[in-house]
Amino acid sequence: MATSLKNLSDYTATTFVDISEKRFGLVVAEWNREITDVLAQGAYDTLIQHGAKDENIYRNTVPGSFELTLGAQFLAQHEEIDAVICLGVVIRGDTKHDDYINHAVAQGLTNVGLKFNKPIIFGLVTTNTLEQAQDRAGGKHGNKGVEAAAAAIHMLSF
Ligand code: DLZ
């Protein structure tokens, strides 16, 4: 059965680390900003609810999702950053741009995570329509920003 990361209480088997001294980077794409802002708010709220301090959450924007990789690297290279959460929305259009962006971001963020040995979270909403993206940013399918923050906390608990 498919499950989704709704919040940390779903993970009863995992003991989560104290994140009160952890530092998080948020990298947020400005394309589809009305949606990425909701994702970012969901991620921020989740980190705060689970003990992170406001002053330990660093938020940067990048022009579009394609730039999430380099934005993640800019933050990840700082030793004091423990995890980076990358948020963007790519909506399928008439061309294949979405395929190129999505694959590049997935591969790029994987590389950054392995290079710096820290969680780099793929919070990219990839949909066919704007409505499907809205459904995943505070709509009927939850908020992928919340899930991305939960994934970061989970990974820090290794
Ligand atoms: C160019 C472009 C297109 C067509 N669509 C999106 C999108 O749906 N979501 C998104 O985050 N960014 C998009 N971009 C912008 C690219 O990610 C990138 O910012 C530009 O190609 C400049 O490198």
Is 113 part of a structural domain of the chain? yes
Is 80 part of a structural domain of the chain? yes
Q: Give pTM, 2 decimals.
A: 0.92
Taking alpha carbons only, the member of 9, 20, 21, 28 closest to residue 121 is 28
The answer to whether 97 is a known catalytic residue is yes
Specify the number of domains making up the chain: 1
Is 25 part of a structural domain of the chain? no
pLDDT at 15: 74
Which residues on adjacent β-strands are paired with residue 124?
A: 88
Q: Report, in angstroms and rounded to the nearest whole number, the Rg of the chain calculated over CA atoms.
A: 15
pLDDT at 115: 98
Per DSSP, 112 falls in state: H
Q: ipTM score here? A: 0.99
Q: Which domain holds residue 89?
A: 35-156
**Is position 91 annotated in a ligand binding site?**
yes
Which residues on adjacent β-strands are paired with residue 90?
A: 126
105 CB near ligand 1 (under 6 Å): no
Nearest-atom number in ligand 1 for the CA of 93 is 4
In the predicted structure, residue 5 carries a pLDDT above the cut 70: no
pLDDT at 132: 97
The residue count for the chain: 158
What separation in angstroms does the CA of 25 have from each of 30, 51, 112? 16, 15, 13
The CATH number covering residue 88 comes to 3.40.50.960
**Is position 31 annotated in a ligand binding site?**
yes
Is 27 part of a structural domain of the chain? no
Is 20 part of a structural domain of the chain? no
Mean pLDDT of the region 32-58: 98
Is 14 part of a structural domain of the chain? no
What separation in angstroms does the CA of 28 have from each of 2, 15, 68, 80, 158? 27, 28, 7, 20, 25
Tell me the per-residue pLDDT of 106-128, one tens digit each, with 9 for 90 and over: 999 999 999 999 999 999 999 99
Is 132 part of a structural domain of the chain? yes
101 CB near ligand 1 (under 6 Å): yes
Is 56 part of a structural domain of the chain? yes
